[in-house]
Structure 1
Amino acid sequence: MSNVFDERRCVLGEGPLWHPERQQLFWFDILSKQLMTRENGKAGSWEFDECVSAAGWVSKSELIIASASRLFLFNLDTEAQTKLCDLEADDPVTRSNDGRADPKGGFWIGTMGFNAEQGKGSIYRYYRGELRRLYSGITISNAICFSPDGRTAYFADTATRSIQQVALDADGWPDGTPTLFADLSQEGLNPDGAVIDADGHLWNAQWGANRVARYAPNGSFVEEIGFTAHQVSCPAFGGADLGTLFATTAAEGLDGTVEGQTYFAQTAAVGQPEHRVIL
């Protein structure tokens, strides 16, 4: 059973992040160019000059944020921005999309075309000052998340209706060729953002299906949590005990007040604390 956490309608809600030091949820409305939050029942937001989509926490006051053309450090207290590096700044067709910090302190970020142009996206890792392209030819980058032991990364190209997995080396870089984790094509499901709980189960938001689905480490379906909104885009575990599953949604192309709101559901699972990004 899901409940409304924040009633504001995001055109394209994405990238929920539970900051473990602040005990506070942040998320994005990509197309409205906003970082959003709610603290002690009070709604807050920051507006930027281009689309923003994903973040990791660096300190209590600083986030690393991915935008359409760069990665930058953002101070929540002073609102100061410090550019870290370009992100496809020379390609006006693309923007950032899904992203998450890995257990080694790296930050993975995917890109895609503004209009989901085929094969225009990539997935990158920013680690200790270096941005490296890991995968190219991706249409809609999504589902970036990591096993609790730090040995496996997961990601999806939503257009393929499948989730991939790849082994990681001791420094958190991919080691070998990605393999299939879950094939959702037979069910016509569209894998969007994902997060992994402390037991290694992957929770995947499925665009257009009103749900977040839980998969065991072997890729088998376990259960689902239903949401009123159709276009569920990304989950995140938070709350004092990390047992609350938050989920962003998107109102883009839909009518109705429930679309685009941010939701939460209590679960019997326990999430992983979001990893700190090491610059």
Structure 2
Amino acid sequence: MSKVAVSVLSDVACRLGEGPSYDARTDTLFWFDILERKLLEKPLSGTETIVHTLPVMASAIADIDAERQLLVTETGLQLRDRASGRLDMLMEVDANRPDMRSNDARPHPAGALWFGTMSKTAEEQAGAIYWFFKGELRRLFSHITVPNSICFSPDGAIGYFADTRENRLYRIACDPETGLPVDDPVLTVEGKEMPGGIDGSVVDTQGTIWNARWGGARIDAWSPRGELIRSIPMPARQISCPVFIGRDAGRLAATSAYEGMDGEAREADPEAGKTFLVDLDVQGRLDPPVLL
């Protein structure tokens, strides 16, 4: 384990903090409390965290243009007006399934979006991973319980995803021009012997995969071949997803959660649910806008 200084970036504790996304247009970090239907916003130049109440559960946000963002929600993909916060449905996904919600997501370098869905009660193999690009939607993978770790190599030729319930990370060859898979998934990390589960991930310019270890109180760095490079201890047990922040993508932040903790567990894990800044220089990458 590599000792790295970690500080609290936002002390707003989330029941299920997830989906952090850095917006270079405004130098702002966005993330969600999925279960509490909250969108959180923190300008990196300021100290206050702004909390927006949402009408639906949402789990991920992506840039579109100067006026709009894309939200991945329990009923589908919705457009968010930056100025007013108004939501408009772009494409329904599981809108007639109140038992389902969205989970992890990330834009592919080509401007496509991969996103996952899952049962609100984590029913076995009820979830899926979808691809959206220029108005077209396809289901890529089915029979997933908790879809996570959606991320891509810098050139877009490799995609990654995990089922946290299985605790396995897969890689798959992709078409760099569209983000569509062109081969079968290959098991890359088998995490069953390690504490916690494979949660959200991002990939830096060198191809290193930075993964949040849910229940393991750490962030792991993996090579593209699945070799563990280093582990960074974190001050909360349920770390959910890292993100590169800053216009140079040179820093790392991470969300966490207090989901499932009783009073005694929260007392033992007082930082649970907060969002953290990792004092580590990284060669990160910023996600591209999603192409509608």
Q: Same fold (TM over 0.5)?
A: yes
Aligned equivalent of 1:220 = 227
Aligned equivalent of 1:178 = 185
How do residues 6-25 of structure 1 correspond to structure 2 at under 5 angstroms?
6-25=10-29
Aligned-residue offset at 1:14 = 0.2
Aligned equivalent of 2:106 = 100
* Equivalent residues of 2:195, 2:216 under 8 A apart: no
How do residues 74-85 of structure 1 correspond to structure 2 at under 5 angstroms?
74-85=80-91
Task: Measure the CA separation in 1 of the matches of 2:195 and 2:238.
Answer: 14
**Cα offsets for 1:108-127 (capped at 9, x unmatched):** 11011111100100000111
* Equivalent residues of 2:35, 2:57 under 8 A apart: yes
**Cα offsets for 1:253-275 (capped at 9, x unmatched):** 22133110000112232111111
**Pair 1:258-2:271 in alignment:** yes
How do residues 238-249 of structure 1 correspond to structure 2 at under 5 angstroms?
238-249=245-256
* Equivalent residues of 2:195, 2:215 under 8 A apart: no
Aligned equivalent of 1:273 = 286
Task: Measure the CA separation in 2 of the matches of 1:84 and 1:126.
Answer: 11
* Paired residue total: 279
Task: Measure the CA separation in 1 of the matches of 2:178 and 2:247.
Answer: 30
Match for 2:47 among 30, 34, 41?
41
Task: Measure the CA separation in 2 of the matches of 1:272 and 1:60.
Answer: 20
SS of the residue 2:26 aligns to: coil
How do residues 157-236 of structure 1 correspond to structure 2 at under 5 angstroms?
157-169=163-175, 170-236=177-243
TM-score (normalizing by structure 1): 0.97
Task: Measure the CA separation in 1 of the matches of 2:247 and 2:108.
Answer: 21
Task: Measure the CA separation in 2 of the matches of 1:200 and 1:140.
Answer: 24
Aligned-residue offset at 1:231 = 0.2
Aligned equivalent of 2:159 = 153
Task: Measure the CA separation in 2 of the matches of 1:230 and 1:188.
Answer: 10
Task: Measure the CA separation in 2 of the matches of 1:233 and 1:239.
Answer: 20
Task: Measure the CA separation in 2 of the matches of 1:143 and 1:262.
Answer: 18
* Equivalent residues of 1:20, 1:274 under 8 A apart: no
**Pair 1:27-2:31 in alignment:** yes
Q: Percent identity?
A: 36
* Equivalent residues of 1:22, 1:60 under 8 A apart: no
Aligned-residue offset at 1:188 = 4.2
Letter matched to residue 268 of structure 1: D
SS of the residue 1:185 aligns to: coil
Task: Measure the CA separation in 1 of the matches of 2:100 and 2:143.
Answer: 12
Aligned-residue offset at 1:181 = 1.3
Aligned-residue offset at 1:189 = 3.6
Query: Which moved further from structure 2: 37-46 or 156-165?
Result: 37-46
Aligned-residue offset at 1:54 = 0.7
Aligned-residue offset at 1:132 = 0.9
Q: Unaligned 5+ residue runs, structure 2?
A: none
Aligned-residue offset at 1:48 = 1.2
TM-score (normalizing by structure 2): 0.93
Task: Measure the CA separation in 2 of the matches of 1:266 and 1:188.
Answer: 23
**Cα offsets for 1:78-130 (capped at 9, x unmatched):** 21222111111122221000001111101111011111100100000111011
Letter matched to residue 223 of structure 1: R
Q: Unaligned 5+ residue runs, structure 1?
A: none
Aligned-residue offset at 1:241 = 2.9
* Equivalent residues of 2:162, 2:169 under 8 A apart: yes
**Cα offsets for 1:172-211 (capped at 9, x unmatched):** 1000110011111122441000000111100010110001
Task: Measure the CA separation in 1 of the matches of 2:272 and 2:82.
Answer: 28
Aligned-residue offset at 1:212 = 0.8
Letter matched to residue 278 of structure 1: L
Task: Measure the CA separation in 2 of the matches of 1:45 and 1:125.
Answer: 29
Letter matched to residue 231 of structure 2: E
